[in-house]
Amino acid sequence: MFRTAFFLTSLALAAQPRNADWAHYLGDKATAHYSPLDQVNKTNVAKLRQSWVFDTGDRGEFQSNGLVIGGVLYTASPNRKVFAIDAATGKQKWVFDPAAHQSSAIGRRQRGVVYWASGNDRRIFTGAGTYLYALDASTGKLVPSFGTDGRIHLGEGVADPAPAVQINTPGVIFKDMYIVGGSTQGPGTIRAYDVRTGKMRWLFHLIPRPGQPGYDTWPPDAYKTAGGASNWSGLSLDERRGTVYVPTETALPDFWGGDRAGANLFSNSLVALDANTGKRLWHHQLVHHDLLDKDLPTPPVLLTVTRNGKKIDAVAQGTKNGLLFVFDRETGQPLWDIAERPIPPSELPGEPGWPTQPVPLKPAPLTRQTLTEADASNISPAAHAASLLRLKRSGSQGAYPAPSLQERIILPGFDGGMEWGGAAVDPDGFYYANVNEIPWIYQMIPAADPSGKPITTGERMYKTHCAACHGFDRKGDIHSGFPDISNLKERAHVTKIVNGGIGRMPAFGNLPENQRRALLDHLFGEEKPTNTSEVKGPPYLFGGFRRWFDAEGYPAIKPPWGTLNAVNLNTGELKWKVTLGEYPELTKRGVPPTGTENYGGPVVTKGGLVFIGASADETIRAFDKDTGKILWQATLPFSGNATPSVYMIDGKQYIVISAGGGKSNRPAGGHIVAFALPD
């Protein structure tokens, strides 16, 4: 018996790979967040220990999902440096700093890089500012044959003049093409570039041109004036079929649609494109004529499910409303019916709105869709009384409050529901997603002053483009990470940021020079009163991104505030829901774990585990994928607002996560932390 057991154990160990890469953003081109490794499993995960830590030296939102190829980890730091690190020891091999190659703003918050290889030609692709760089994976040096001296401008060939396009989330490789979207103030596009030369191979317009499908869902020639409908949240690829799946954002401006009457395809849509040509195969719009910044925030996930004994290749798309839409990957047919539900009509003159919004009949929403008096905060009597009073005063119309000058509470809020971290799926058809359940405040305001006098060009530019984040008082929002800009000093530095963008702030280089100059004059108190509004703009402006917090700084709603969920996509039923994260100070007061606001995604493994950081308590956890029970947790130097990577080197499995904090008003850093079982 002993010999037999020893023999079987030896066979199992021999079957384990000695090395296993994490070669693509979010694990594979299907963005499945899945690892087939099981050396770390339910029986031994409690023994996980920190293996190494690497400090990038940067501080800020570190959201990168690192690639691991041939024992080397490639990652993008909070300041968009690219590091190559020995993935077994944490020792630096090389670093590339794009700031040494461009004078314009670099940007921040890059969620990963892309790897491509053919023979000895091995490249890392990374975005900085409005450029895409190709690096030699062995040295970190620029590949001079790519574009001009190793880089291409992401707006060239899109329009004339070239718009500013920036990459936060990496694209995907198909054959010898790099396919990517990006954020822009101009009309969104998907582009495919030759990986060797940087030449554009095809382009798909997300705001249609005359004769293209969807053109009639906009006013005539809207592509000349409208912007957005971009893809900033990433792509997924069915390599065998040659299909790329594209989720898109809101058309611009986010909160006023009076100048873009219609459904506005292909904004807020999941679009399937032929990866060879860029031709549209099918699409579904998941928010019509969006007025609430309800971008599709995650890359779609490709998986296989079983329905009535039949295997179906599916694509699942999560939303900021906590809804999960699931389609047949080939045909675009929904696996469960989608109903068009009426929403409150607009209260603003000139804003036509849209009468209905799509809701899948299955799966059930992963977040509350309504806010009632029963949802008033219960963490203290004072919090309960205050939240109940404001709820009675302001009211809530759920996920789609009517555009109005009256303050309303919106739930799900502007940051989800689901967010950019995405979801994990396993081969059994189960879907694992973390969600936020935090209400926000929504209100529109007039663009004219109280006397009805038109505001100046600079003030309009500020209110239209800046106030939503920095506030009408310019004081920002510490909880959202938007800085105070009420006392700016260096005009040259601010001009650089306005033109080139930084972090979540997009570039505004596409604005006419007179508008940018007027904006800067306004910011620095140099705008002359005679500079009246010559620029046409929305008659109503968004009142700014404001979470609804109580006096102590906690969400003004009954917990949970953040959860991790498992959904059986074979049946459409929720398997389990658990809180994700806690506030120790509340726990000490006797409040059960509430969950926290969370950013970053999960990874599911063959070992039966779901690994996730994401929460606002500087902790990484491992959950039992079958029950949702916490099996292990460890403290991080900063919150792990990124998706972990799972890999194996010389027979040892590692779990690594970027820990940079900076979200949810938490401390900020720039560390990478790896865990493994002890030798």
pLDDT in tens, 336-345: 999 999 999 9
Average pLDDT, stretch 177-188? Answer: 96
- Report yes or no on 547 lying in a domain: no
CA-to-CA distance for 367 and 442, rounded, in angstroms? 18
- Report yes or no on 443 lying in a domain: no
CA distances from 340 to 47, 284, 292, 356 (A): 49, 13, 18, 6
Q: Is the pLDDT of residue 451 over 90?
A: no
Average pLDDT, stretch 463-491? Answer: 79
CA-to-CA distance for 315 and 297, rounded, in angstroms? 15
Q: For residues 569 and 454, state if they share a domain.
A: no
pLDDT at 478: 62
Give the residue from 320, 337, 361 where a domain finishes.
Answer: 361
- Report yes or no on 110 lying in a domain: no
pLDDT at 5: 43
Q: For residues 512 and 630, state if they share a domain.
A: no
- Report yes or no on 634 lying in a domain: yes
Q: For residues 518 and 563, state if they share a domain.
A: no
Give the range of the structural domain holding residue 504, as residue numbers without chain letter.
448-537
Q: For residues 577 and 528, state if they share a domain.
A: no
Looking at 163-300, which runs of residues are DSSP E strands?
165-166, 172-174, 177-180, 183-184, 189-194, 200-205, 227-228, 236-238, 243-247, 251-252, 269-274, 280-285
C-alpha dihedral (623, 621, 549, 402), degrees to nearest 10? -50
pLDDT at 23: 98
Around Cβ 605, how many Cβ atoms within 10 Å? 26
C-alpha dihedral (564, 368, 317, 647), degrees to nearest 10? -10
Backbone angles phi, psi at 425, to 5 degrees: -135, 150
CA-to-CA distance for 316 and 294, rounded, in angstroms? 17
pLDDT in tens, 290-306: 999 999 999 999 999 99
Confidence of residue 310 (pLDDT cuts 50, 70, 90): very high
pLDDT at 530: 55
Q: For residues 191 and 230, state if they share a domain.
A: yes
Backbone angles phi, psi at 11, to 5 degrees: -65, -40
pLDDT at 503: 66
Does residue 417 have a cis peptide bond before it, meaning omega lies within 30 degrees of 0? Answer: yes
Q: For residues 457 and 498, state if they share a domain.
A: yes
pLDDT at 607: 98
pLDDT in tens, 3-46: 444 444 444 445 668 999 999 999 999 999 999 999 999 999 99
Give the residue from 361, 377, 405 where a domain finishes.
Answer: 361
Domain count of the fold of the chain = 3
Average pLDDT, stretch 424-428? Answer: 98
Average pLDDT, stretch 519-545? Answer: 78
C-alpha dihedral (513, 517, 518, 523), degrees to nearest 10? 140
Return the residue matching tokens 């900021």.
320
pLDDT in tens, 238-292: 999 999 999 999 999 999 999 999 999 999 999 999 999 999 999 999 999 999 9
Q: For residues 478 and 575, state if they share a domain.
A: no
Q: Is the pLDDT of residue 2 over 80?
A: no
pLDDT at 501: 73
- Report yes or no on 16 lying in a domain: no
Q: What angle do CA 534, 539, 540 make, to 5 degrees?
A: 135
Q: For residues 523 and 595, state if they share a domain.
A: no
- Residue 497, Cβ density class (10 Å: 0-12 exposed, 13-18 middle, ≥19 buried): middle
Percent of the chain with pLDDT over 90: 80
Average pLDDT, stretch 427-443? Answer: 97
Q: For residues 339 and 311, state if they share a domain.
A: yes
Joined together, the tokens standing for residue 426 give 């396993």
Give the residue from 313, 346, 361 where a domain finishes.
Answer: 361
Q: For residues 267 and 287, state if they share a domain.
A: yes
Residues 6+ apart with CB under 8 A from 553: 479, 665
pLDDT at 466: 85
CA-to-CA distance for 471 and 545, rounded, in angstroms? 8
Task: Tell me 502's DSSP state.
Answer: B
Does residue 253 have a cis peptide bond before it, meaning omega lies within 30 degrees of 0? Answer: yes
CATH number of residue 317's parent domain: 2.140.10.10
CATH number of residue 528's parent domain: 1.10.760.10
Sign of the alpha-carbon dihedral angle for 564, 569, 570, 574: positive
- Report yes or no on 293 lying in a domain: yes
Joined together, the tokens standing for residue 475 give 């004081």
Which residue from 172, 192, 177 is spatially nearest to 236, judged by alpha carbons? Answer: 172
- Report yes or no on 265 lying in a domain: yes
CATH number of residue 58's parent domain: 2.40.128.630
pLDDT at 122: 98
- Selected residue with higher pLDDT from 124 and 474: 124
Q: For residues 625 and 675, state if they share a domain.
A: yes
Beta bridge pairs of residue 648: 20, 653
* 602 neighbors 612 (Cβ within 8 angstroms): yes
CA-to-CA distance for 40 and 624, rounded, in angstroms? 12
Q: For residues 226 and 340, state if they share a domain.
A: yes
Lowest pLDDT segment from 37-51, 266-280, 385-399, 599-613: 385-399
- Report yes or no on 304 lying in a domain: yes
